[in-house]
Amino acid sequence: MGKGLYISKSLGIVGIIAGVGAISTIIALSVVYSQEKSKNEVKPTDGGVTPATTPASTTTPSTPKEPWDNYRLPDSVAPISYNVTLWPRLVINSDGLYVFTGRSSVIFKCVKETDLILIHSNKLNLTMFNGHHAKLIGLDGATAPALTKTWLEVATQYLVVQLDSKLVSGKSYEMYTEFIGELADDLGGFYRSEYFEGDQKKIVATTQMQPTDARKAFPCFDEPAMKAIFHMTLIHPHGTVALANAINFEPANITMGGENVIQTSFAPTEIMSTYLLAFVVSEFTFKKTPEETKILIRIWARRKAIEEGQGDYALEKTGPILTFFEKYYNSSYPLTKSDQIALPDFSAGAMENWGLITYRETALLYNPDTSSNGDKEWVVTVISHELAHMWFGNLVTMKWWNDLWLNEGFATYVSYLGADSAEPTWNIKNLIVLNEIQGVMAVDALASSHPLSSREEDIMRPEQISELFDSITYSKGAAVLRMLSEFLTEDVFAKGLSTYLNQFKYSNTVYTDLWKNLQMAVDSTTPSLELPHTVEVIMNRWILQMGFPVVTINTRTGNINQKHFLLDPESVVDRPSEFNYEWFVPIKWMKTGIHQKQHWLLKKEDTHTPMITNVNEWLVANTDMSGFYRVNYDSENWENLLTQLATNLEAIPVINRAQIIDDAFNLARANIVSTILALRTTKFLQKEKEYMPWQTANRNLDYFYLMFDRSEVYGPMQAYIKKQVTPLFNYFKDITSNWTEIPSGHTDQYNQVNAISMACSTGVNECNALTTSWFEQWMNDSSNNPINPNLRSTVYCSAIAAGGVEEWNFAWKMYKNASIASEADKLMYALSCTTVPWLLNRYLSYCLDPERIRKQDATATIVYIAGNVIGQPLAWDFVRANWEHIFNEYGGGSFSFSRLIEGTTRRFSSDFEYKQLLQFKEDNAAGGFGSATQAVDQALERTKANMNWVAVNKKEVLKWFTDESASETY
């Protein structure tokens, strides 16, 4: 699944420059990233990565007394096939509800003798047959036992069926149920999405099953290993179309319940897991590939969006990405069609349902007239992520959710390869460093982090499963698999994947199955890769223990050592590790611009004499950030690196220029190097034109703004940033012919946004005049927006911050009228930039009104407001006052919910705020925090670390910014 939430690159850049401006011009904002990416999140979801929550480390309590008290299904029966008919009502009934009715037959085989059937069912009202919730018959000569008692076990979400005798091992049976459920707007299971065409409200019936909501649509064995074939039929009104995983047969007109309706049946699916099911009833239309195309590809969306060509880019890129993955996996696409549909309401970024991929509109639709290059990148990377799952995840599926990291981490990593094949001039593979690796390192450096792979017995309840959809799973998973691919080589990695997919197709695996296939590829490679241990032995240290090392290299002696890296050196790690927090570390490195032979650090301390340098030589380790670790050096090498950056920065590769900044700032946070050294790594930016170093500096300076934008450090800090960014602003002014053109390079377009955002926010008069005039032109002629799509987030935010009620109301009107989701997202963010407190409070209240702010966007909007230095205390008070309502109505188990806690508390750095957070935890302990449980503990840990950091660093940081802002030279 895609990360839960995505923020466009330009929007993310504005957010990362959070607080970099006078309050009258621009306001700080917290960035939530989600590539699937967002979502993934939150994805989806993902701008940079804002850490999601981490799963609880506690083991599930005492052994259940009865089988139905256990959250895991027994292994006594195994499904073979389902025949499901569903009829969603797209008009409200006499009780004021939208509902669906259905019937389902499941054929299953008895694997072990049993007189008990447990099948998942949640929030369904089942029809009674002779006092029971189901019917049971035997097949192929088997006699079905009589039902003695049935009931719904709400806590564990089961339909419990007790029998008067045992099912016979090896025999098959069929169970039949009829039911009615609510077609709610809760974004889970079979749910309702709404949109308007003109003044007419339209209803879409759609699905989101992952991880545990197929049971809300019909009774089913709702675990990934319980694969089966599904025969789906949908009943729907005339004027609508029905979609499902498989291709449809010819729809038929029928009369049912006195209504003239359409019945659409679908071909049987491949053998698949319940969480990958999808079905949609809508008035959408589509664009498709030509008839002669081997695989039918259709892009579905609102009729207006398709007519405007918003699906054209997705259609153009889907085929080539599928072809890339067929070659990469050495395996044909397993299905005959690939439907992709953009939904107005969708909780994640996208979902890899086999044959019917569902997306947020922003993750599939692209309009060149209004969408930015960041929007375009988001579309191609999310499509690539979801298509990667068609093999890895769908064809071969994890046995249980504790191995989710392999599913999502892999798709995240190879999504960059697929996107690179579709857009080869963008150099998109490098952006995994910014989008995934840098951000997740901040999460994994906390004592409250967690290993990639959890114990199966620790992941039982639905909320525990939902907690796994975090940045560790997606981004660290991607990072360590990228590292593995680097030291195996891409060819060997792909060869192992191909045999893995072929061996386990249509079945389930654990992560060690992949290691074994990769090891076979290694063993058959000539010449030998010379690995120090097997793939499994090396990788176990990266997936079975949390965190990562900081590798310290002394270039005077050649000594190398490793240590578990923690952002707060005073934090206590109470999670034991069988490896004692040591790793097998592949070190790729270069000396004074020349790449050297890779070295493996296999113990806590070692000596590698080739790493000794002479006078004026410099060393950079972890080239291209291929490894998941940080690097520290002796003071002389740090000085030599700074000298090199000052004299000829291009001698150091661009990724490593970004890495030097990111490592230095994080090492300073951990009290390993001085904060002044970290700040000195930003001095060369006066001469830097590339995006990655600037973006990395922005993110790290964002922490300084969060800590100091309410203190006397703010002014000198602003003056220094203004001094550094002015040459970049002038550079882009020149190459764009005074802002009349857009740079040709993909990342140059991103860095243009950096230049404008930072220049405006630090008070460059020419910049503020520019953005204000553009926004005024638009206000004077709302039908003609003169602002380039790449720059809109920046300009909107700057103008709204500088303006008042008139600007805010205009932006709100344009937000409500926006027919393109990516444009609406930019405005939704920009509305949080106002400096007027009552407008921010009103905007917060809108978040609880789905007619104003969609449920899928509510938590993100609150986090945007919390990113505003004025809005932060308002948002925190709002969350505390409305916690019970937000938690119950907006889904404490949703994938992005932990971001609400993180986003509203990331500025906390005082004892008063720490005590407020403790009180909040205590006040809501009884109701719990759902998927945000560990996010609360992380916030407490982060706040304590912030308090300590400010106490230690404030005085010298103030002096350094004051001195540097007054200095005339580099």
Query: In this structure, what DSSP letter does residue 284 have?
Result: -
Does residue 308 have an active-site annotation? no
Separation between Cα atoms, residue 701 and residue 722, nearest integer Å: 13
DSSP string for residues in 366-416: --TTT--HHHHHHHHHHHHHHHHHTTBTTTEEESSGGGHHHHHHHHHHHHH
Which residue is listed with tokens 């004299």?
647
Which residue is listed with tokens 């990469």?
328
Scored b (16 or more CB within 10 A) or e, 764-781 reads beebbebbbebbeebeee
Q: Write the secondary structure of 885-902 as one string of H (helix), E (strand) and C (coil).
A: HHHHHHCCCCCCHHHHHH
Separation between Cα atoms, residue 645 and residue 685, nearest integer Å: 9
- Rounded to an integer, what is the distance from CA 403 to the centroid of its chain? 17
Asked if 333 and 390 count as a contact pair (C-beta separation under 8 A), the reply is yes
How distant, in Å, are the alpha carbons of 343, 621, 660 from that of 637?
53, 11, 12
683, two tokens: 């001095």
Q: DSSP strand E in 859-941: where?
A: none
Amino acid present at 850? P
- Distance between start and end Cα atoms, the chain: 46
Asked if 885 and 845 count as a contact pair (C-beta separation under 8 A), the reply is no
Rg (CA), the chain: 28
Separation between Cα atoms, residue 575 and residue 863, nearest integer Å: 30
Asked if 416 and 385 count as a contact pair (C-beta separation under 8 A), the reply is no
Backbone conformation region of residue 221, classed left if phi is above 0, alpha if psi is from -120 to 50, else beta = beta
Provide the 10 A C-beta neighbour count for residue 641: 21
Separation between Cα atoms, residue 847 and residue 852, nearest integer Å: 7
Separation between Cα atoms, residue 274 and residue 386, nearest integer Å: 17
Q: Write the secondary structure of 415-447 as one string of H (helix), E (strand) and C (coil).
A: HHHHHHHHCCCCCHHHHHHHHHHHHHHHHHCCC
Asked if 588 and 598 count as a contact pair (C-beta separation under 8 A), the reply is yes
Considering 361, 386, 467, 941, which one is annotated as catalytic?
386
Separation between Cα atoms, residue 535 and residue 515, nearest integer Å: 6
Asked if 949 and 707 count as a contact pair (C-beta separation under 8 A), the reply is yes
Amino acid present at 234? L
Among candidates 592, 597, 685, 596, which has minimal Cα distance to 641?
592
As a whole number of angstroms, the longest Cα–Cα distance in the chain is: 93
Q: How many CA atoms lie within 13 A of 192 on its CB side?
A: 21
388, two tokens: 């990667």
Separation between Cα atoms, residue 819 and residue 832, nearest integer Å: 20
The secondary structure element, H or E, covering residue 903 is: helix 897-905
How distant, in Å, are the alpha carbons of 88, 95, 103, 214, 215 from that of 121?
18, 23, 13, 9, 5
Separation between Cα atoms, residue 871 and residue 866, nearest integer Å: 5
569, two tokens: 């050196």
Provide the 10 A C-beta neighbour count for residue 573: 15
- Rounded to an integer, what is the distance from CA 302 to the centroid of its chain? 25
Separation between Cα atoms, residue 519 and residue 537, nearest integer Å: 11
Amino acid present at 267? A
Positions marked catalytic: 386
